[in-house]
């Protein structure tokens, strides 16, 4: 288990390998489809060199109720530009991302996988800090959280290794055999 | 409790508690899984289920779209039931709370939650009101799909062998995107509109039930075994647990058409029922 605290340093990022278990502490920002468009269209320095969490949490009176990850693949089209513009150091999501993101991460950032459906467990590791663009609606606003020992797995490292590739290859072989 | 309060309680229970048959399926998968990462993920998911129930919180932040299936005796009127359900959803969104999940396609504005309600009038002697509720998240809706047979790419013809290929293709394409292990509802026949709804309704069946139609029962078992040979595993990180169940319904079709509707649910298949006797 590797413990990391924000702001993440490039040397820490470069030392991570796909498959490593990491406990994250510090500040993270949620962003989904609408937030990505906003972040690309306007300047939002708060996320500079930061961590983006693909998630749409349930929040009630600033209490984090349930807050697992959303499917990252939807954000493939915006992510390389987002990494470039803000020097994003890490992305947390689920299900993996495509080759354009793998290339954009190379030498500078990582993609962490969180487990889909651990809403309550993750919520307990998160504290409300701030909210921006609340007019986007609860799932799509940009929520800033302070996290403590937030458990993730390195699913795409900064050297281009993607944890999902092995599964994809194996399942493709089996699929072709079965059909 | 009045009817509205009972429906709010049904919504809370559905959001916070995984049904017993799905828990049993997950526990069996965790026991039998020999991939260490997969086993650990399944264990964590079960822990989350326990904590959500204990703390009365939605197990997943995506409390989904609420799909209601209402069977009502003639003493009730659809219009009134619709109003009560809509009121219950609005109050539940605040109280439980549910995540507001209804976004206007044109303005992009989030307007709260919007229920999808299916009605069926019953004519039984022991008239009772029965409501099934399914809360289904967006990620698993996004990988659900309708095939039209024959399909040349899959070399899938208009028979159960063709259907088997469609189911495998849908799961292969979904990979880990929609939170496996999946539960898969399938419907054959119908038309474009009804086949999707009928496949979703198969998700209401208990995981350990048995299809009364022998050919379908055999196909359900066979294709479940094959899906688990794909090795996608929990969250797409490998393992032999890719699906917990496959449920298939076969209806009638137009001579020109052979649709296969496939509704994929994430592992967190949230469905509960409410019965009110007169």
Residues B275, B98: Cα–Cα separation, whole Å: 23
User: Among all residues of chain B, which has the CA nearest to that of A152?
Assistant: B41
Burial class (CB within 10 angstroms; exposed 0-12, middle 13-18, buried 19+) of B1: exposed
pLDDT tens per residue, range B74-87: 889 999 999 999 99
pLDDT tens digits, one per residue of B129-144: 999 999 999 999 999 9
Q: Do A167 and B175 touch (CB under 8 A)?
A: yes
pLDDT for res B190: 85
Say whether B44 and A115 touch across the interface (CB within 8 A): yes
Asked if B168's CB is within 8 angstroms of A175's CB, the reply is yes
**pLDDT tens digit sequence for B140-198:** 999 999 999 999 999 999 999 999 999 999 999 999 999 999 999 999 998 999 999 99
Tell the burial category of A169 from Cβ atoms under 10 Å away from its Cβ (0-12, 13-18, 19+): exposed
Please name the member of B57, B236, B266 whose beta carbon is closest to the beta carbon of A96: B236
Residue B124 has pLDDT above 80, yes or no: no
- Number of structural domains (chain B) is 1
Global pTM? Answer: 0.96
Which of chain A's residues have a Cβ under 8 Å away from the Cβ of B267? 117
pLDDT band of A86, cuts 50, 70, 90: very high
pLDDT confidence of A149, banded at 50, 70, 90?
A: very high
Of A66, A138, A167, the CB nearest to B237: A167
Q: How far is CA A155 from the centre of its chain?
A: 10
Mean pLDDT (chain A, rounded): 97
pLDDT band of residue A96 (cuts 50, 70, 90) is very high
- Residue B5 CA to residue B10 CA, distance in Å, equals 9
* Largest Cα span, chain B: 56
Look up the ipTM and state it: 0.94
Q: Report H helices in chain B.
A: 3-16, 20-32, 36-55, 78-95, 138-142, 160-174, 192-201, 214-229
Question: What percentage of chain B carries pLDDT values higher than 70?
Answer: 100
Whether B244 is in a domain gets the answer yes
Average pLDDT for B48-58: 98
The 10 Å Cβ neighbour count of residue B111 is 12
Average pLDDT, chain B: 97
Q: Is residue B189 part of a domain?
A: yes
Establish whether A36 is a catalytic residue: yes
Give the span between the Cα atoms of B185 and B177, in whole angstroms.
17
Chain B CA closest to residue A162: B237
* B123 — pLDDT class (breaks 50, 70, 90): confident
Cβ-defined contact of B266 to A60 (cutoff 8 Å): no
How far is it, in rounded angstroms, from Cα B111 to Cα B114?
Answer: 8
Q: Which chain A residue shows the shortest CA-CA distance from B232?
A: A167
Max Cα distance, chain A (Å): 53
| Å between B100 CA and nearest CA of chain A | 7
Q: Parallel, antiparallel, or unpaired for β A110-113 and A90-93?
A: parallel
Contact status, residue B251 vs residue B190, Cβ threshold 8 Å? yes
Instruction: Give the pLDDT score at B126.
Output: 73
Q: Name every chain A residue with its beta carbon within 8 A of the beta carbon of B151.
A: none
In-domain check, residue B133: no
Q: What angle do CA A15, A149, A151 make, to 5 degrees?
A: 70
B128 occurs within a structural domain = no
Structural domain contains residue B211: yes
- For the cut 80, the answer to whether the pLDDT of residue B117 exceeds it is yes
Distance from CA of A145 to the nearest CA of B (A): 15
Q: Which of A49, A65, A45 is closest to A57 using CA atoms?
A: A65
What is the DSSP pairing of strand A90-93 with strand A51-53? Answer: parallel
Query: E-strand spans in A39-177?
Result: 51-53, 58-60, 63-66, 90-93, 110-113, 126-132, 142-156
Question: What backbone phi and psi angles, to 5 degrees, belong to B208?
Answer: -95, 15
Give backbone dihedrals phi and psi of A30, rounded to 5 degrees, phi first.
-80, 145
Average pLDDT over residues A104-111: 98
Q: How far apart are CA B174 and CA B102, in angstroms?
A: 24
Residue B251 resides in a domain: yes
Q: In whole angstroms, what is the distance from residue A156 CA to residue A109 CA? A: 9
Asked whether residue B112 is assigned to any structural domain, the reply reads: no
- Cβ distance B172 to A171 less than 8 Å, yes or no, reads yes
Phi, psi (deg, nearest 5) at residue B176? -100, 10
Q: Which domain holds residue B170?
A: 139-268
Q: Which of B176, B180, B240, B244 is the mutation pick for testing A, counting most A CBs within 10 A? A: B176
Q: Is residue B175 part of a domain?
A: yes
Delineate the domains of chain A, giving CATH numbers in brackets.
2-178 (3.20.130.10)
């Amino acid at each position: 288990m590797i413990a990391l605290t924000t702001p993440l340093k490039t040397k820490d990022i470069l030392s991570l390998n796909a498959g490593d278990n990491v406990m994250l502490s510090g500040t993270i920002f949620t962003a989904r489809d609408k937030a990505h468009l906003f972040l690309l269209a306007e300047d939002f320095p708060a996320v500079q060199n930061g961590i983006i969490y693909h998630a749409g949490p349930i929040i009630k009176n600033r209490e984090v109720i349930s807050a697992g990850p959303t499917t990252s693949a939807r954000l493939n089209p915006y992510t390389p530009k987002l990494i470039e513009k803000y020097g994003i150091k890490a992305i947390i999501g689920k299900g993996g991302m495509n080759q354009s993101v793998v290339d954009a991460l190379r030498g500078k950032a990582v993609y962490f996988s969180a487990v889909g459906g651990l809403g309550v467990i993750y919520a307990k590791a998160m504290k409300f800090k701030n909210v921006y663009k609340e007019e986007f609606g609860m799932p799509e606003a940009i929520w800033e959280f302070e996290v403590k020992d937030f458990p993730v797995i390195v699913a795409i490292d900064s050297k281009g290794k993607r944890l999902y590739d092995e599964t994809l290859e194996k399942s493709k072989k089996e699929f072709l055999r079965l059909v | 409790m009045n009817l509205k309060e009972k429906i709010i309680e049904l919504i809370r229970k559905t959001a916070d508690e995984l049904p017993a048959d799905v828990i049993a399926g997950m526990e069996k998968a965790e026991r039998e899984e020999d991939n260490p990462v997969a086993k650990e993920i399944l264990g964590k998911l079960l822990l989350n289920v326990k904590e959500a129930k204990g703390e009365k919180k939605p197990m997943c932040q995506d409390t989904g779209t609420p799909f209601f299936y209402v069977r009502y005796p003639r003493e009730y009127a659809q219009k009134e039931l619709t109003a009560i359900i809509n009121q219950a959803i609005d109050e539940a969104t605040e109280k439980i709370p549910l995540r507001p999940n209804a976004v206007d396609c044109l303005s992009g504005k989030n307007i709260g939650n919007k229920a999808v309600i299916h009605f069926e009038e019953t004519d039984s002697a022991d008239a009772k009101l029965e409501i099934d509720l399914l809360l289904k998240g967006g990620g698993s809706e996004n990988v659900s799909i309708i095939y039209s047979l024959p399909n040349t790419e899959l070399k899938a013809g208009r028979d159960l062998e063709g259907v088997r290929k469609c189911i495998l293709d849908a799961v292969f394409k979904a990979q880990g995107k929609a939170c496996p292990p999946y539960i898969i509802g399938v419907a054959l026949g119908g038309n474009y509109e009804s086949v999707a709804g009928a496949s979703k309704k198969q998700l209401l069946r208990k995981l350990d039930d048995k299809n009364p139609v022998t050919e379908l029962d055999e196909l359900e078992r066979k294709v479940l075994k094959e899906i688990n040979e794909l090795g996608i595993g929990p969250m797409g990180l490998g393992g032999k647990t890719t699906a917990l169940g496959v449920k298939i319904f076969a209806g009638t079709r137009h001579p020109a058409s052979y649709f296969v509707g496939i509704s994929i649910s994430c592992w967190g298949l949230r469905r509960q029922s409410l019965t009110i006797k007169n």
